[in-house]
Amino acid sequence: MKFIPIYASAGITGFESPAAEYLQQSLNLDEILIEHPSATFIVQAKGDSMQGVGIFDGDILVVDRHLTVKNLDVIVACFNGEFVCKILDLNNRLLLSANKDNEPVAITSNEMFTLEGVVSKSIRCHRPSNFFGQR
Protein backbone atom coordinates (compact mmCIF):
# COMPACT_ATOMS: atom_id res chain seq x y z
CA MET A 1 0.00 0.00 0.00
CA LYS A 2 1.24 3.51 -0.77
CA PHE A 3 0.73 6.52 1.45
CA ILE A 4 0.28 10.02 0.06
CA PRO A 5 0.67 12.61 2.85
CA ILE A 6 -2.32 14.86 2.18
CA TYR A 7 -4.40 16.64 4.77
CA ALA A 8 -8.01 16.63 3.60
CA SER A 9 -10.30 19.58 4.11
CA ALA A 10 -14.05 19.58 3.75
CA GLY A 11 -14.05 22.30 1.09
CA ILE A 12 -13.93 21.55 -2.62
CA THR A 13 -11.83 24.06 -4.55
CA GLY A 14 -11.81 22.64 -8.06
CA PHE A 15 -8.02 22.93 -8.38
CA GLU A 16 -5.53 20.27 -9.42
CA SER A 17 -5.21 17.35 -7.04
CA PRO A 18 -2.74 18.08 -4.22
CA ALA A 19 -1.53 14.48 -4.60
CA ALA A 20 0.25 15.47 -7.80
CA GLU A 21 2.92 17.26 -5.74
CA TYR A 22 3.81 14.35 -3.44
CA LEU A 23 5.95 11.26 -3.85
CA GLN A 24 4.46 8.01 -2.67
CA GLN A 25 5.82 6.51 0.52
CA SER A 26 5.32 2.98 1.78
CA LEU A 27 2.69 2.49 4.47
CA ASN A 28 1.79 -0.62 6.40
CA LEU A 29 -1.44 -0.21 8.36
CA ASP A 30 -0.55 -3.21 10.52
CA GLU A 31 2.42 -1.25 11.90
CA ILE A 32 0.25 1.78 12.65
CA LEU A 33 -2.75 0.00 14.14
CA ILE A 34 -1.23 -3.02 15.85
CA GLU A 35 1.60 -2.58 18.33
CA HIS A 36 1.60 -6.14 19.70
CA PRO A 37 0.51 -8.47 16.87
CA SER A 38 0.58 -11.70 18.88
CA ALA A 39 -1.58 -10.16 21.62
CA THR A 40 -4.05 -8.20 19.49
CA PHE A 41 -7.46 -9.04 18.09
CA ILE A 42 -10.12 -7.08 16.23
CA VAL A 43 -13.83 -6.95 17.06
CA GLN A 44 -16.81 -5.00 15.79
CA ALA A 45 -18.74 -2.72 18.14
CA LYS A 46 -22.48 -3.23 18.48
CA GLY A 47 -24.89 -0.83 20.14
CA ASP A 48 -24.78 2.78 21.30
CA SER A 49 -23.42 2.54 24.84
CA MET A 50 -19.95 3.89 23.94
CA GLN A 51 -20.90 6.84 21.72
CA GLY A 52 -19.67 9.33 24.32
CA VAL A 53 -16.08 8.22 23.68
CA GLY A 54 -16.50 8.06 19.91
CA ILE A 55 -17.23 4.36 19.48
CA PHE A 56 -20.34 3.83 17.37
CA ASP A 57 -22.33 0.80 16.22
CA GLY A 58 -20.34 -0.99 13.50
CA ASP A 59 -16.95 0.51 14.37
CA ILE A 60 -13.92 -1.76 14.37
CA LEU A 61 -12.03 -2.01 17.67
CA VAL A 62 -8.36 -2.95 17.97
CA VAL A 63 -8.05 -4.77 21.30
CA ASP A 64 -4.60 -5.27 22.82
CA ARG A 65 -4.14 -7.93 25.51
CA HIS A 66 -0.53 -6.88 26.10
CA LEU A 67 -1.44 -3.48 27.53
CA THR A 68 -1.77 -3.14 31.28
CA VAL A 69 -5.26 -1.90 32.08
CA LYS A 70 -5.48 1.49 33.78
CA ASN A 71 -8.38 3.08 35.59
CA LEU A 72 -11.03 4.35 33.15
CA ASP A 73 -9.56 2.54 30.12
CA VAL A 74 -11.97 1.42 27.41
CA ILE A 75 -11.88 -2.36 27.53
CA VAL A 76 -13.44 -5.47 26.05
CA ALA A 77 -14.47 -8.05 28.64
CA CYS A 78 -16.56 -11.15 28.98
CA PHE A 79 -19.20 -10.28 31.58
CA ASN A 80 -21.57 -13.07 32.60
CA GLY A 81 -21.00 -14.84 29.29
CA GLU A 82 -21.47 -11.76 27.08
CA PHE A 83 -18.71 -9.76 25.38
CA VAL A 84 -18.97 -6.08 26.28
CA CYS A 85 -17.06 -2.91 25.50
CA LYS A 86 -17.11 -0.57 28.49
CA ILE A 87 -15.05 1.88 30.50
CA LEU A 88 -13.48 0.05 33.44
CA ASP A 89 -13.62 1.90 36.76
CA LEU A 90 -11.02 -0.08 38.71
CA ASN A 91 -11.40 1.99 41.88
CA ASN A 92 -15.12 1.25 42.24
CA ARG A 93 -15.24 -2.09 40.36
CA LEU A 94 -17.74 -0.76 37.82
CA LEU A 95 -18.36 -1.13 34.12
CA LEU A 96 -19.33 2.29 32.77
CA SER A 97 -21.08 3.16 29.56
CA ALA A 98 -20.27 6.35 27.68
CA ASN A 99 -23.97 6.94 27.12
CA LYS A 100 -25.90 8.74 29.85
CA ASP A 101 -28.92 6.49 29.24
CA ASN A 102 -27.05 3.43 30.59
CA GLU A 103 -26.43 2.86 34.29
CA PRO A 104 -23.06 1.67 35.66
CA VAL A 105 -22.83 -2.07 36.30
CA ALA A 106 -21.08 -3.38 39.42
CA ILE A 107 -18.55 -6.18 39.12
CA THR A 108 -19.26 -8.27 42.21
CA SER A 109 -17.91 -11.61 43.35
CA ASN A 110 -21.14 -13.15 42.04
CA GLU A 111 -20.40 -11.98 38.48
CA MET A 112 -18.33 -13.84 35.93
CA PHE A 113 -15.82 -11.27 34.65
CA THR A 114 -12.82 -11.78 32.39
CA LEU A 115 -10.87 -8.86 30.98
CA GLU A 116 -10.09 -9.63 27.33
CA GLY A 117 -8.02 -6.54 26.55
CA VAL A 118 -7.71 -2.78 26.27
CA VAL A 119 -9.21 -1.00 23.26
CA SER A 120 -6.20 0.79 21.81
CA LYS A 121 -7.86 2.13 18.65
CA SER A 122 -11.21 2.31 16.93
CA ILE A 123 -11.89 2.60 13.21
CA ARG A 124 -15.04 4.10 11.73
CA CYS A 125 -16.40 2.36 8.64
CA HIS A 126 -18.37 4.67 6.38
CA ARG A 127 -19.51 1.80 4.18
CA PRO A 128 -20.40 -1.72 5.23
CA SER A 129 -17.46 -4.10 5.01
CA ASN A 130 -17.63 -7.77 4.07
CA PHE A 131 -14.87 -8.37 6.65
CA PHE A 132 -17.60 -8.86 9.26
CA GLY A 133 -20.17 -10.21 6.78
CA GLN A 134 -22.04 -6.91 6.41
CA ARG A 135 -22.59 -6.74 2.65
How far apart, in whole angstroms, are the C-alpha atoms of residue 88 and residue 74? 6
pLDDT value of position 119: 97
Distance, in Å, from the CA atom of 48 to the CA atom of 124, rounded to the nearest integer, reads 14
Taking the C-alpha atoms of residue 113 and residue 93, their distance in angstroms, rounded to an integer, is 11
Domain assignment present for residue 15? The answer is no
Convert the pLDDT of each residue in 15-72 to its tens digit.
556 556 655 666 777 777 888 989 999 999 999 999 999 999 989 999 999 999 999 9
Which amino acid is it at 130?
N
Q: Answer whether residue 45 is part of any domain.
A: yes
Residues annotated as part of the active site = 49, 86
Domain span at residue 73 reads: 35-126
Where does the pLDDT of residue 14 fall: very low under 50, low under 70, confident under 90, or very high at 90 and above? low
CATH number of the domain within which 41 lies? 2.10.109.10
Across residues 83-112, what is the average pLDDT?
Answer: 96
Q: Read off the pLDDT band of 120 (50, 70, 90).
A: very high
- Work out whether strand 60-64 and strand 40-44 pair parallel, antiparallel, or are unpaired: antiparallel
Number of domains in the chain: 1
* 120 is a domain residue: yes
- What pTM was estimated for this model as a whole? 0.77
Q: Is residue 40 part of a domain?
A: yes
